[in-house]
Structure 1
């Protein structure tokens, strides 16, 4: 059974990745090379080294802003560790002088009365609704004001579920999913809020039971707010008001607010729905442009066979067409108050709807804010949302509804290193009724189509964004795109065809202000093998697989975050079983100096996992990361026990700051 489940999980994750990343952008928006004299040959020459690339026009970051002016000469204080290529590796290894230990795993108790996790996965959905969900992803630590470095709340996304959730994997009976299995899968999605603190010996522990501990899932009632609240496109047979939705789905990366709330972002929600009406699907932009299934079943779980709200086929016999609008109620930012376990989560529709990876905040001295997001699909775009109001630290209550009004922007990059934020505002540059946008509600509902019309730049799977704590420069991971050069033209920001290794984009806003409408950009680095590398047969590695990393090699940057001192931490997500990834070994956590661009490998995870989720205690002496879908037996590491997605706590043996000299 163990070997069968490993094979089933590997197959499932391959199918998930294929569905998640399917290129569906029909816009043919111009590549950067089409906007200037820069040619593909020029861009690819010499593996596109950072020194040669610059800004392709000899320009530096606007205003000469450099993080190095505010940081010590040597930023990274640990020695990099080697890759891990053992095909049966099932542990976590961290840099010398540090300790990593499993802290919070799938099935651990969260809410009061939760039963102990059963290693054979025979728990029912009611038990799962009280326990940690599966596939831990984005997370954030929220400190208590009276003792912030020792006491806080850890909020953790549970992105999706694996076949290991059930004793024998996911089943169908007569072509239909059993309702009990579907309910358990829905309960294992969402978010966990757990109280954590240091004990008398100075060791971090989970607090259970706790008044604050809470599970939020695909079954939790949530309020719809902002421009789409009550709109006709949000009404269903079960919710004729269009103001309340059950649950949140596919919460990948995360965001947070300066007023202490958590932002869960809904990424690949489209895989949960099906619209079988081919004629309706062909003209319904809100389904087709987002890749909802138009086949016999949804792309991932076939929930619609047991739960009718995931069948978005229009039904004229039911009010509001049945559940044709249910997909409209996903793809949003969900705001959660972790300190009030009785509060109802709120879907903030002013942010716009797409497959959002994150909502990373940047706050200027004048209180103006921006929240940066990637739309994680091949050929999609980078966005930011700028609230209309300003953050007021002295008046926390006044900040509560700042996210209900503002402007959504999409990035358009030029090959000379300049860029502009195009406003997705009704009436702007063709966003009018004649083009399918009758009001601002339609613009936000169909943000991808609106961005197409504004000429946004298609990118290589934009994922996490991170904001430098001093310069406010924005770094965005472009994880990979093996269809670049096929469906999307090669350009200066996405310079490699068959881009299997990805890159990191750096944006400097005009005036270093998050509300600016223009910016400068550069490629911070190209991931991949070293220039001049040879494969196992002694042949030169093709140019599209080489990068320009100064230091330890990696592929497919995904998670990204800055610590308080300005170290950039990079998490990877690639299929470590693919032959092209053998050099990289298991997925990794690395640290980069944004001034020197030096990269060192800090941690490697077990075979088959993704490294994701990243947060710190305020004093940076505790770091938490997530091991998602480990392929063998982690955290038991015995080669037998059912693998469990796990939050890992990392501390420095001398009690010092993580990563510091």
Structure 2
């Protein structure tokens, strides 16, 4: 079918957010005494939530935060708002947009989108998302900005539509595949005091769905990873739906494959029903694949088993996505590596916590309603004195899923064959099966289903972990409420925080609390004059927001929060355009720092080492941003934010 560019993002969001968790894991509400449970079900009972770690008692009134020294920007309701708004004393300028040249020989972007797919392979991809800044050793004013390109929008093509009602033209599919992936660009602070791109840098490169990548770790070379086009099961062509990111202590970039399942289809009803690796992840089973119908032009996205083809054709191709991909930004010739020890799901991020002794943990959310929070603990330790020893640290370790108990304690459940019910009799014949089907393993182990776990962020000093739970309109209907997910029909989401036992990233127990519930201010009234329903009321001290998505800490310990919701859908209309806010973890005060153009998501965040430059991404604006001329094609764009006086952002 044809897709209007204005509603394309909402269509993708609709099936990205579907609940496909069939587990009967006990919700935490069943572990609470009946009186407290009735409070949660009857009127939300915000006072009762203070019993779960005391988190809301501290949220009484706004404080004068020592960290937040900027003036809040107002909400924006104008349906034609096509700018980026930042506080007085700051500037935000477009820095890097879809179609901008990246690699040598890249042509200039054509405003009519007539660039072909070989050109797109050398240009910035679409839908900028998570990113990180990697400084050159010993240099604060020079570095590599590395960012994801999550998916593509119809304006990628001259027609402005993606027509799934017919077999897709191969050239269109190739251009879409080229616009996925990652960009690496060198940036440098000039003599004018401003940051600029280094256009002829040898480090500039694109990584896309057409880039060969090495499979590594426990699943590399196994039968379950082999396909007709890769009988060795060792090389994958491309990475897709790259959302959030992570970094390693040895200076590599981790890109995470999120909603990869929407690119595949298995049309064999009997096989689909029994193949956990397809069904539990929500592959399409009728019609065309959910995103772009690539399988009509590129057979490897048809995951239907074919007995007359080697390894069943491409039935295993979906097994080769859903991983953490490690990229060395300082070695343009290095092949990206898919690290299968991390486990396979719709991963949002790989947020690093590094202990003083070199032990590590990487935290991830699985972005769908009723899915889980995970962490991966490598077996080895980071050795700063021996860089070569760190090369393959991500190929061995333990994957855990989180259980949030009602008393404010928590347990990391090891997803290890032979433990927590992960045995052959329950469908897990080996550790490889556990990692391949991490969602089903977490179901069996008894992890807590969450309200769409998004990004995680680790405090730079305390190692306190924050997780964004963006929303879940099925909570209380298809999924009962519980202590960590307390609101029925949760349209606004919440942020949790937890502390590992003893501050040890590798601990198997933790304590947790609700940092805040997003939503309308307490005491707010509807347009009709009545009270805002309890399930839409937040606990925010300061500026209200909905649907927390991106999270990141700066070096000073400020928590930056980015939102993603449909700004034309009630009740999010009351929030206006999507935004970025900043919170003080100690006082819980929240201030709005940025508002983006109509229809966008604000996502991705990176800083220069001195904290005086910030890069953030404006993804899928629906108007003419960044041109702001009313008729140009909208382009996902990285903006550079600086203080006019040259000071540290946020201070």
**Smaller-chain TM-score range?**
over 0.9
Shift of 1:653: 1.0
> Which of residues 30, 36, 41 is equivalent to 2:38?
41
1:265-304 pair list within 5 angstroms: 265-304=256-295
Work out whether residues 135 and 629 of structure 1, in 8 Å CA contact, stay in contact via their aligned partners in 2: yes
Matches of 2:17 and 2:134 in 1, distance apart? 32
Work out whether residues 465 and 560 of structure 1, in 8 Å CA contact, stay in contact via their aligned partners in 2: yes
Shift of 1:53: 2.6
Shift of 1:409: 0.3
Shift of 1:40: 3.9
- CA gap 1:60/1:631 in 2 versus in 1, 3 angstroms: closer
SS in 2 for 1:579: coil
In structure 2, the partner of 1:589 is 580
Matched, 1:604 2:601: no
In structure 2, the partner of 1:114 is 106
Matches of 1:169 and 1:276 in 2, distance apart? 29
In structure 1, the partner of 2:388 is 397
Per the normalisation by structure 2, the TM-score is 0.97
Matched, 1:26 2:43: no
Instruction: Name whichever of 258-267 and 14-23 sits farther off.
Output: 14-23
In structure 1, the partner of 2:147 is 156
> In the TM superposition, what whole-angstrom CA distance separates every residue of 1:146-172 from its partner, at most 9, and x where no partner exists?
31x210000010000000100113444
In structure 2, the partner of 1:176 is 167
Shift of 1:303: 0.1
Matches of 1:372 and 1:48 in 2, distance apart? 30
In structure 1, the partner of 2:71 is 79
Work out whether residues 65 and 589 of structure 2, in 8 Å CA contact, stay in contact via their aligned partners in 1: no
- CA gap 1:46/1:598 in 2 versus in 1, 3 angstroms: farther
> Which of residues 134, 138, 144 is equivalent to 1:142?
134
Work out whether residues 56 and 515 of structure 2, in 8 Å CA contact, stay in contact via their aligned partners in 1: no
In structure 2, the partner of 1:13 is 9
Work out whether residues 55 and 522 of structure 1, in 8 Å CA contact, stay in contact via their aligned partners in 2: no
SS in 2 for 1:583: helix
Structure 2: 5+ residue stretches without partners: 58-63
> Which of residues 89, 102, 110 is equivalent to 1:97?
89
SS in 1 for 2:467: strand
Shift of 1:582: 2.0
> In the TM superposition, what whole-angstrom CA distance separates every residue of 1:504-525 from its partner, at most 9, and x where no partner exists?
0101110011100000000000
In structure 2, the partner of 1:349 is 340
In structure 1, the partner of 2:61 is none
In structure 1, the partner of 2:647 is 656
Shift of 1:12: 1.4
> In the TM superposition, what whole-angstrom CA distance separates every residue of 1:570-604 from its partner, at most 9, and x where no partner exists?
00000001131122110000000001100000010
- CA gap 1:592/1:315 in 2 versus in 1, 3 angstroms: same
> In the TM superposition, what whole-angstrom CA distance separates every residue of 1:223-273 from its partner, at most 9, and x where no partner exists?
000000001100000000000000001000111101000000000000000
Work out whether residues 172 and 178 of structure 1, in 8 Å CA contact, stay in contact via their aligned partners in 2: no
SS in 2 for 1:582: helix
> Which of residues 514, 519, 528 is equivalent to 1:528?
519
SS in 1 for 2:575: coil
SS in 1 for 2:568: coil
In structure 2, the partner of 1:66 is none
In structure 2, the partner of 1:56 is 52
Work out whether residues 413 and 420 of structure 2, in 8 Å CA contact, stay in contact via their aligned partners in 1: no
In structure 2, the partner of 1:358 is 349
In structure 1, the partner of 2:441 is 450
What value does the CA root-mean-square deviation take over the aligned residues? 1.6
Work out whether residues 239 and 257 of structure 2, in 8 Å CA contact, stay in contact via their aligned partners in 1: yes
Shift of 1:174: 7.4
1:204-283 pair list within 5 angstroms: 204-283=195-274
Matches of 1:496 and 1:173 in 2, distance apart? 37
Work out whether residues 81 and 94 of structure 1, in 8 Å CA contact, stay in contact via their aligned partners in 2: yes
> Which of residues 445, 451, 457 is equivalent to 1:466?
457
Matches of 2:45 and 2:189 in 1, distance apart? 47
Matches of 1:577 and 1:519 in 2, distance apart? 39
Shift of 1:173: 8.6
Instruction: Name whichever of 213-222 and 431-440 sits farther off.
Output: 431-440
Shift of 1:413: 0.8
Shift of 1:73: 6.2
Work out whether residues 47 and 548 of structure 1, in 8 Å CA contact, stay in contact via their aligned partners in 2: no
Matches of 1:289 and 1:171 in 2, distance apart? 27
SS in 2 for 1:287: helix
Matches of 2:592 and 2:253 in 1, distance apart? 29
Per the normalisation by structure 1, the TM-score is 0.95
Work out whether residues 378 and 393 of structure 2, in 8 Å CA contact, stay in contact via their aligned partners in 1: yes
Shift of 1:395: 1.0
Matches of 1:24 and 1:582 in 2, distance apart? 28
- CA gap 1:152/1:602 in 2 versus in 1, 3 angstroms: same
- CA gap 1:627/1:73 in 2 versus in 1, 3 angstroms: closer
Matches of 2:599 and 2:550 in 1, distance apart? 16
Shift of 1:56: 2.2
In structure 2, the partner of 1:88 is 80
